[in-house]
Amino acid sequence: MNINIINNSKHELPNYETLASAGMDLRANLTESIRLKPLERTIVKTGLFIELPIGFEAQVRPRSGLAAKKGITVLNAPGTIDADYRGEIGVILVNLSNEDFIIEDGERIAQLIIAKHERAEWTEVNSLEETIRGAGGFGSTGVK
């Protein structure tokens, strides 16, 4: 699948690091470093603009290494980029650690996954088909 992209950053286009990778790394496009204090959040721009076909979305997800090693994650994970959005891709990062984190220009801050999606049409009814689970949720299928 080909997707139109404008790269206004000074970094390479996102790419798949391995043949089996689902996501492509997004890099910070900064003129100066950002200090992210504990529990602070910020939007980090990437310099990228994309044109997705209708029926597809781009999901912005955390990088597992950044989350595990530094406590830095994507606040609204996964962030959704709709097919009709034409603005710059920004990543909402939050620092869940106890230490300041410095975001440098070019740093890999998140990953981008392109996914096909369906568009639902609602059918309003008065009752739903019964299942064994029923209305049980929030851990109801786990061990008791």
Tell if the pTM clears 0.85, that is, is over it: yes
Q: Which helix (H) or strand (E) holds 7?
A: strand 4-7
pLDDT of residue 143: 58
- Domains delineated in the chain: 4-10+23-116 (2.70.40.10)
pLDDT of residue 139: 74
pLDDT of residue 144: 56
pLDDT of residue 136: 80
Task: Say whether 69 sits in a helix, a strand or coil.
Answer: helix
pLDDT of residue 137: 80
Compute the distance between CA of residue 69 and CA of residue 85 in angstroms, rounded to an integer.
32
Please report, in tens digits, the pLDDT of each residue of the chain (144 residues total). Answer: 999 999 999 999 999 999 999 999 999 999 999 999 999 999 999 999 999 999 999 999 999 999 999 999 999 999 999 999 999 999 999 999 999 999 999 999 999 999 999 999 999 999 999 998 888 887 777 655
SS3 track for 83-114 = CCCCCCCEEEEEECCCCCEEECCCCEEEEEEE
Closest listed residue to residue 103, CA positions, set 58, 70, 68, 61: 70
Compute the distance between CA of residue 43 and CA of residue 76 in angstroms, rounded to an integer.
11
